[in-house]
Amino acid sequence: MQAFSELLTGSTATPDQIEFIELVVQELTLNGVMEADRLFQSPFTDINSQGPLGIFPPARVSTLVAVLHVIRARAVA
């Protein structure tokens, strides 16, 4: 959750944003890593059919993807 705190700071997070990040954290807890394309599949698209692009501004989606890449790089190292 700490890795994703930047996505929720600077503004009031909506319930959908919080739920989305919690789903990402659950996925990472279960699997250790997560591919970015997974963000555009269920259960993420159950919150919004556009996945993260329907919930976060594009710059925040880029940050989310970057965090997933960092987590994957650390897991393989």
Number of CB atoms found within 10 A of residue 5's CB: 10
pLDDT score recorded for residue 29 = 92
Task: State the distance between the two ends of the chain, measured CA to CA, in whole angstroms.
Answer: 21
Mean pLDDT by 10 residues, the chain (77 residues): 70 88 93 94 97 94 92 85
Map out the domains of the chain as residue ranges. Answer: 13-76
For the entire predicted model, the pTM comes to: 0.86
Residue 1 has what pLDDT? 65
Distance CA 12, CA 66 (A): 22
Torsion angles phi and psi, residue 52, rounded to 5: -65, -30
Classified as helix, coil or strand, 21 is helix
pLDDT for 76 equals 80
